[in-house]
Amino acid sequence: MHDHQQEHGGQVRTEPGTGLAVRPLDGFTVGVTAARRAEELGALLERRGAQVLHAPALRIVPLPDDTELLAVTRDLIDHAPDVVVATTAIGFRGWIEAAEGWGLGEALLDRLTGVELLARGPKVRGAIRAAGLTEKWSPASESMAEVLDRLLEEGVSGRRVALQLHGEPLPGFVEALRADGAEVVGVPVYRWMPPEDIGPVDRLLDAVVAGGLDAVTFTSAPAAASLLRRAEERGIRERVVTALRQEVLPVCVGPVTALPLQAEDIPTLQPERFRLGPLVQLLCRELPGRVRPLPVAGRRMEIRGHAAVVDGALRPVPPAGMALLRALARRPGWVVSRADLLRALPGAGRDEHAVETAMARLRVALGAPKLIQTVVKRGYRLSLDPHADTDKYGGA
């Protein structure tokens, strides 16, 4: 159906006979809620054509200022744990560095030398060895479930288990250990707090409700929970949840991240590999795959987010024009009255002249005036090709 060219991390389509490449996310707007690695994720999305709305839903408490982590570190030095579970390289390194800053680095390393040290995966294993320590065991799967199974097989009744946390919930992990008789001490590395500037989050929520976003990405469960909490504070939680269930595509980096959304019956998509690259590749497949191509006036048109693609050329469209174009595309080939189009225009009031003005600008933006036909005294219609399969393209 189309010519295809492959590009690293996404697909670039070239329409036959045009030579004009359309990047997979051209025309789409994607929200990014990440605090850590937000710039990296944003750059990956923009390189594939997306407009990115940055709204860090959380901030990380700086480790040297974290009095809770300091108190836990002193407690572990004074009262030795039997087992220490290290879950992330960045978190483990941060803990050691923070202890050194407090003058407790040597005491902490001495304490960790004498305990059973478990590493969740190769990265954290490397961080442990870089600190001059040796792990007792590490699962091949990098799975916390496998770590839990090993601990429960060993038996944890009466044992003190220190668990290095990193802002992500570990569903069932702590509860299972405590149920088996363990004393579990959480080491709260990288605790999350609401952002100091809530403005970007509010703008993202407004865009979700107003249909100004095509997708929102989540890379941590606390960020998803924080976004819903802010919507609750503003009295728009129900509208945000409805939009995420229907119009806006929520994409999570993995199943743990998705838990707060799934608790609201919001369906989410997750890549098979829980990394940023596969998350972006998933968006590159999903968003273009949801677009219906329309055969209009001898041309091929796609309506994507804030733009249209006409015969392989990207055509950015103003918001008012986009509202009209979507209204026409809901029933392609059928006449849509000026009154109905006026209702589709955001903030247009009652003046039907606003429809004519927005329509003129839309035709200029599309670069092909004949795509939209004026039907005298009735309204406007998309000039759907007469032999097109109207069932396929949404007609009645």
Give tens-digit pLDDT for 171-225: 689 999 999 999 999 998 877 788 989 999 999 999 999 888 999 999 988 899 9
| CA–CA dist 124, 129 (Å, integer) | 9
| Residue 6: pLDDT over 90 | no
List the one residue out of 295, 275, 271 whose CA is nearest residue 285. Answer: 271
At 142 the pLDDT is 83
| Residue 393: pLDDT over 90 | no
Tell me whether the CATH fold assigned to 3-57+196-289 matches the one assigned to 63-192.
yes
Q: Which CATH number fits domain 296-382: 2.30.30.40, 1.10.3720.10, 3.40.190.170, 1.10.10.10?
A: 1.10.10.10
Query: Thinking of the domain 63-192, which architecture would CATH place it in?
Result: 3-Layer(aba) Sandwich (3.40)
Q: Which amino acid is at 165?
A: L
Place of tokens 């987010």: 305
Q: Where in the chain are the domains? A: 3-57+196-289, 63-192, 296-382
| CA–CA dist 356, 168 (Å, integer) | 52
| CA–CA dist 315, 57 (Å, integer) | 32
| Residue 20: pLDDT over 50 | no
At 394 the pLDDT is 44
181: left (phi over 0), alpha (psi -120 to 50) or beta: left
| CA–CA dist 249, 270 (Å, integer) | 11
- Edge-to-edge strands, sheet with 379-382: 336-337, 379-382, 372-375
**Which range has highest mean pLDDT (155-159, 334-338, 379-383)?**
155-159
What class, spelled out in words, does domain 3-57+196-289 have in CATH? alpha beta
Share of the chain above pLDDT 90, in %: 52
Q: How confident is the model at residue 100 (pLDDT cuts 50, 70, 90)?
A: very high
Q: How confident is the model at residue 116 (pLDDT cuts 50, 70, 90)?
A: very high
Predicted confidence (pLDDT) per residue in 126-185, tens digit: 999 999 999 999 998 888 889 999 999 999 999 999 999 876 657 689 999 999 999 999
235: left (phi over 0), alpha (psi -120 to 50) or beta: left
Predicted confidence (pLDDT) per residue in 34-80, tens digit: 887 788 999 999 999 999 999 999 887 777 778 999 999 999 999 99
Q: How confident is the model at residue 376 (pLDDT cuts 50, 70, 90)?
A: confident
At 339 the pLDDT is 87
| Strand 83-86 with 116-119, pairing | parallel
Q: At what angle do helices 89-101 and 105-113 cross, to 10 degrees?
A: 130
User: Average pLDDT of 258-262?
Assistant: 92
- Please give the C-alpha separations between residue 164 and each of 21, 94, 130, 168, in angstroms, as whole numbers: 47, 11, 17, 11
